Every structure is written in structure tokens, then in C-alpha cells.
């Protein structure tokens, strides 16, 4: 970005990034608010689901779409949003995404039917797919000095890791003391304040190049992901060997294969394969997907455990999730200092080990587990692991990317977390359902057995979540080879 408060609309990034923006820390604050709004919306409605379901007459089978309609459109369209941010203008895309997100939130908050709520959540995902990649791309070109960029990524990483837990807390407070609808309507004043600050503070930037977009690629990847998640959902209802399950998963795989073919042949690919084929970035994106899969599932089942088994109120359940956020914030601050000294790989390996360890501690829960002696330390350890992971991920996922592709690369990072969360939630829910069914099949049914079956299902889900996070550590170990001084060279944004 240029050293002034604004840039010529057509200025190239290469020329704009020679001097630090004078109000870059204020810009970071605006971007942080917007990113928090997008991230927490993936979980803020979790605690509100029972009230929304009862009021709108949503069936048990359909209620999961309140969550997945958002994460699927968000994750599936992030790649297109990244390209739009690069070519249309990052500030313009950022502002448009903010306005659209607020309007979609208003529709959802005033919804009178389940179908309208699902549609509003999907629309939130569409505009979030514009907002999020534009935000990270702006950080990439505004912060040009290595240590300052590390601090900026620490803020961004802390929000990415802790925003989900913040959503649970805020959702509990709004549900218990106001109404479930405010879990959506609260976005309107937040977006208004952020937009009012962004207009004078955030400078414009865009990449040179042809501005045509890969719409067929966007349709193929989004449809493929929806089919996969729906297939996992059907597996929970009908079993893995059901024709509907097999058919949906097969269609999803075929559509994703078609997406790869489209990207290989397109002159204007949605996701240039050169972004993925670098082993360091590819390893980071794979790790991000696996961590997202385990993380989203952990928050979902922790919420159910707190409210259904331990009988916490919505506010108590939200507050009980705060230790994860605390751990993320502590580790993110430390990681921003350690990243220039140690490099990305050691931090990511330590983070995966800690996060998986915290998840494994959660497999030891029972019907009356103490919060202070068990649930609190387990969540803190998990949060520490996530904080040590997210900060280097944000940096490594953009390492060596030409500024022309900054939006697409940042969109890929966001997309992997959302896609991983969607697929992981569906997969872990299937494992949970199967475990509960198997537990009840071998025992005499009574109220105590029912509760113990639920706890057993949660522990199985947590074990699978730990396994997914450990796999992320394995991908880091095998694929990521970047060295500490490579990151320190600033190669992330000056190779184009």
C-alpha cells in the first residue's frame, strides 16, 4: 500500500507497498471488527438454535442448515470473493461485503419461516465471502515490515481462533436476556460503526490484470462442497451404505474433480493451482482444513454437553467456553514474538500437539465432570494450541504469493477453515450419532442410560476431533519446509 491515506484506484500493489501506511494500526482495528463479525457468526446462533427452532417450526433434520447454510456459502464462495477483491478493489469489496452482511443479518433477524432464515444465513455467507478475503488482503499489502506484519497477523489469528468462542458467549447473552433474533440483528450496528470508520481510513488497492472471473469454477466447487456435506449429513440419518449417502458423496467428489479440471484449463482460474502446488502453502492449507474440522466440532459438542448434560443456562454455557478464547489470545501474543525467531513450522507443530492434547482431555468427561478441575484446563490447553497454530498459518499461507494473487491466497486460507468446519461438523455428528446408537443398543434404556449415551457420543466426537488435529500436525511435519529466515525476508508480498 502507498504511504498516503489513499491510493490511485489503478495503482499496482508492487508500487504501493514501498512505504508503510501512516494509519495502518487504525485500519487494523477496523479490519479486526469486521473479521470478528464474520467469524463469530459461524457459532453465535448455536446456543440460540432451540428458541429459533421452536418459534419457526424447524424440524430436527433441518435445523443444522442454520449453521451449515452459512459456512457452506462462505467457504464455497471465498475463492471467487478473493479474485473480486484483487481486481475490483479491496476497499470497495470490503465495504460492499460489510453492507450486504448487515442487510442479510436484518433479513435473518426478522425471518418468519425456517426457509427464510436458511436463505438469510446463506446470503450472510455470500457477503462474508467478499468481506473476509478483502480484509486479509488489505493487511497483507498495508503491513510491509516483518515484525509489524507478525503483530497484525497475531491480531487476525487471535480473532480467527477465538471468534467462535466469542460467538457462543454473545449468543448466550442475547438469547437469555433479549431474543434469539438479536444474534443476527446485532451485526447491523457493528457493521455500521466499522463501515463509518473504513470509508475515511482504509485505502484502496487492486491488482493489475484481466478482470474476468471464473464463474464455472465457483459453481462447481460450491456445489461439490454442498453435496459432500449433505452426504455426510445423510450418513448420520441413513448410514454410510445408504444409496443417498453414497450418491451425494460421489457427486461431491466428481464436482470437485471437475473444479480442478476447470482450474487447469481456465485462462482466468478462480484458484490458480500455483497457489496450492507450493508445498509450504499446500501444507498450510491442508493443516488449516483439518484444524477447522476438529475445531468446529469441538465447539458444537461442548455447547450440547454444557446445556444438555450439565444443565447450564445459555449464558453459563457461553461463559464456560471462554477459556478457549483466553488460551488463544495468550498464545497468539506469544506466537507473534516467536514467529520471527523460530519460524512457522515449530510453532505449528507445538500448536497441533497442544490442541490435540486439550481435545483428548475432553474425551475424559462424564455426566458430572467438574468444570474447574477438568473442563477449564482442557479448554485452556486447546486454546493455547490453536493460538500457536493460527498466527503462523496466516503468515505461511501467503508466503511467496505474488501480490496479484493476494486476495485469492487469503481467500483460500479462510475457505479451508470454513470448508473444514462444514465437513468436520457433518462427519463428527455422524460419528456421534453412530456412537450413541451403538451404546443404547447394548443397554437397558432408562434416563440415566440416555444421558450416559450422550456423553459417550461426545467423547467419541472429541476423539475424532483430536485425530483430525493430529493429522494437521502430520501434514505440517511432512510438507512445510520453509525456514525462519525465509519468512523474515518478506518474500510473501514482493515476488510478483
Whole-structure pTM value: 0.77
Residue count of the chain, please give it: 496
Report yes or no on 399 lying in a domain: yes
Question: What mean pLDDT do residues 476-482 have?
Answer: 87
End-to-end alpha-carbon separation of the chain, Å? 14
Lowest mean pLDDT among 60-64, 187-191, 373-377, 408-412: 60-64
Q: Which of 224, 251, 269 is the last residue of a domain?
A: 269
pLDDT of residue 11: 38
Please indicate, yes or no, whether residues 474 and 336 belong to a single structural domain of this protein: yes
Q: What confidence score (pLDDT) does residue 446 get?
A: 80
**218 and 179, same structural domain?**
no
When mean pLDDT is compared across 112-116, 274-278, 379-383, the lowest value belongs to 274-278
Whether 8 maps to a domain, the answer reads: no
Average pLDDT over residues 247-262: 94
318 pLDDT band (50/70/90 cuts)? confident
Q: Has residue 1 been placed in a domain?
A: no
- State yes or no: pLDDT of 157 exceeds 60: yes
**What would the pLDDT profile of 415-435 be if each residue is shown by its tens digit?**
788 788 878 877 888 888 889
Cell 501480490 locates to 403
Residue 393, in any domain of the structure: yes
Residues 456, 342 share a domain: yes
User: Would you place residue 16 in the very low, low, confident or very high pLDDT band (cuts 50, 70, 90)?
Assistant: very low
pLDDT at 493: 37
Report the C-alpha gap between 481 and 169 in whole angstroms.
Answer: 38
Residue 36, domain member (yes or no): yes
Instruction: Kindly state the cell numbers that stand for 411.
Output: 481467500
Confidence band for 211, pLDDT divided at 50, 70 and 90: low
Regarding whether 223 and 182 lie in a shared domain, the answer is: no
Instruction: Evaluate if residue 486 carries a pLDDT over 70.
Output: no
User: Across all residues in the chain, what is the average pLDDT?
Assistant: 83
Could you tell me if 47 and 162 lie in one domain?
A: yes
Q: Is residue 494 part of a domain?
A: no
Tell me the per-residue pLDDT of 326-379, one tens digit each, with 9 for 90 and over: 888 899 889 988 888 888 889 999 999 999 999 999 999 999 999 999 999 999
109 lies in the same domain as 232:
no
Rounded Cα gap, residues 408 and 245, in angstroms: 32
Q: Does residue 18 register a pLDDT over 70?
A: no
pLDDT at 14 over 50: no
Number of domains, the chain: 2
Based on the domain organization, do 288 and 243 belong to the same domain?
Answer: no
Q: Cβ distance 468 to 425 under 8 Å?
A: no
Q: Angle, nearest 10°, between helix axes 447-479 and 344-362? A: 170
Give pLDDT, residue 162. Answer: 65
Does residue 491 have a pLDDT over 60?
Answer: no
314 part of a folded domain: yes
Final residue before a domain boundary, out of 269, 292, 311: 269
Domain identity same for 364 and 392: yes
Q: Which of 336-350, 376-390, 391-405, 481-495 bottoms out in mean pLDDT, i.e. has the lowest?
A: 481-495
Do both 240 and 336 map to the same domain?
A: no
Let me know: does 468 contact 266? Beta carbons within 8 Å.
Answer: no
Query: Range of 60's domain?
Result: 13-213+270-488
> Which of 159-163, 284-288, 317-321, 425-429 is predicted with the least confidence, judged by mean pLDDT?
159-163
- State which of 34-38, 94-98, 212-216 shows the largest mean pLDDT: 94-98
Whether 7 maps to a domain, the answer reads no
Does residue 3 carry a pLDDT above 60?
no
pLDDT at 480 over 60: yes
CATH of the domain at 196: 1.20.1250.20
User: Going by C-beta distance under 8 Å and a sequence separation of 6 or more, which residues neighbour residue 452?
Assistant: 367, 439
User: Which is higher by pLDDT, 61 or 399?
Assistant: 399
Q: How many whole angstroms separate alpha carbon 257 and alpha carbon 262? A: 9
Q: Does the structure show a pLDDT above 50 at 483?
A: yes
Q: Are residues 169 and 67 in the same domain?
A: yes
Task: Report the pLDDT value the prediction gives residue 347, as an integer from 0 to 100.
Answer: 93
- Please indicate, yes or no, whether residues 258 and 347 belong to a single structural domain of this protein: no
> Is the domain of 226 the same as that of 263?
yes
Grid cell listed for 77: 464462495
In this structure, of 278-282, 322-326, 477-481, 484-488, the range with the lowest mean pLDDT score is: 484-488
Domain final residue pick, 269, 297, 316? 269
Q: By the 8 A CB rule, do 493 and 17 touch? A: yes
Amino acid at each position: 500500500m502507498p504511504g498516503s491515506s489513499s491510493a490511485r484506484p489503478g495503482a499496482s500493489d508492487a508500487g504501493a507497498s514501498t512505504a508503510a501506511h501512516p494509519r495502518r494500526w487504525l485500519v487494523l482495528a477496523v479490519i479486526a471488527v469486521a473479521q470478528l463479525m464474520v467469524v463469530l457468526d459461524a457459532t453465535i446462533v448455536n446456543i440460540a438454535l432451540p428458541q429459533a427452532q421452536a418459534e419457526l417450526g424447524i424440524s430436527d433434520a433441518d435445523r443444522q442448515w442454520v449453521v451449515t447454510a452459512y459456512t457452506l456459502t462462505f467457504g464455497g464462495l471465498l475463492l471467487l470473493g478473493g479474485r473480486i477483491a484483487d481486481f475490483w478493489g479491496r476497499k470497495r469489496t470490503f465495504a460492499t461485503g460489510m453492507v450486504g452482511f448487515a442487510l442479510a443479518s436484518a433479513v435473518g433477524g426478522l425471518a418468519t419461516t425456517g426457509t427464510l432464515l436458511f436463505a438469510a444465513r446463506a446470503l450472510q455467507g455470500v457477503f462474508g465471502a467478499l468481506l473476509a478475503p478483502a480484509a486479509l488482503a488489505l493487511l497483507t499489502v498495508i503491513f510491509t515490515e516483518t515484525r509489524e506484519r507478525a503483530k497484525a497477523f497475531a491480531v487476525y489469528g487471535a480473532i480467527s481462533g477465538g471468534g467462535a468462542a466469542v460467538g457462543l458467549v454473545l449468543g448466550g447473552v442475547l438469547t437469555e436476556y433479549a431474543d434469539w433474533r438479536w444474534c443476527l440483528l446485532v451485526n447491523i450496528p457493528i457493521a455500521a460503526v466499522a463501515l463509518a470508520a473504513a470509508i475515511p481510513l482504509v485505502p484502496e488497492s487492486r491488482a493489475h490484470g484481466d478482470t474476468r472471473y471464473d464463474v464455472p469454477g465457483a459453481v462447481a466447487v460450491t456445489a461439490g462442497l454442498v453435496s459432500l456435506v449433505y452426504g455426510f449429513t445423510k450418513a448420520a440419518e441413513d448410514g454410510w451404505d445408504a444409496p443417498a449417502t453414497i450418491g451425494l458423496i460421489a457427486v461431491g467428489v466428481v464436482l470437485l474433480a471437475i473444479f480442478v479440471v476447470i482450474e487447469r484449463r481456465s485462462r482466468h482460474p478462480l484458484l490458480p493451482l500455483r497457489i496450492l502446488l507450493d508445498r509450504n502453502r499446500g501444507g498450510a492449507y491442508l493443516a488449516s482444513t483439518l484444524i477447522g474440522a476438529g475445531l468446529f466440532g469441538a465447539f458444537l459438542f461442548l455447547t450440547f454437553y454444557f446445556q444438555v448434560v450439565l444443565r447450564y443456562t445459555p449464558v453459563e454455557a457461553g461463559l464456560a467456553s471462554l477459556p478457549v478464547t483466553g488460551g488463544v489470545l495468550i498464545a497468539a501474543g506469544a506466537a507473534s514474538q516467536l514467529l520471527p525467531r523460530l519460524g512457522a513450522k515449530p510453532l505449528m507443530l507445538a500448536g497441533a500437539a497442544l490442541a490435540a492434547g486439550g481435545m483428548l482431555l475432553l474425551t475424559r468427561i462424564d455426566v458430572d465432570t467438574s468444570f474447574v478441575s477438568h473442563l477449564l484446563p482442557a479448554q485452556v490447553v486447546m486454546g493455547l494450541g490453536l493460538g500457536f497454530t493460527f498466527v503462523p498459518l496466516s503468515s505461511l499461507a501467503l508466503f511467496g504469493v505474488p501480490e496479484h494473487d493476494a486476495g485469492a491466497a487469503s481467500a483460500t486460507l479462510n475457505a479451508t477453515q470454513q470448508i473444514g468446519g462444514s465437513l468436520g461438523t457433518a462427519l463428527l455428528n455422524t460419528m456421534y450419532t453412530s456412537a450413541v446408537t451403538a451404546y443404547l443398543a447394548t443397554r437397558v434404556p432408562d434416563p440415566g442410560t440416555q444421558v450416559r449415551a450422550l456423553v459417550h457420543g461426545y467423547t467419541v466426537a472429541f476423539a475424532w476431533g483430536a485425530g483430525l488435529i493430529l493429522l494437521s500436525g502430520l501434514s505440517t511435519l511432512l510438507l512445510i519446509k520453509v525456514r525462519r529466515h525465509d519468512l523474515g525476508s518478506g518474500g510473501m508480498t514482493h515476488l510478483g
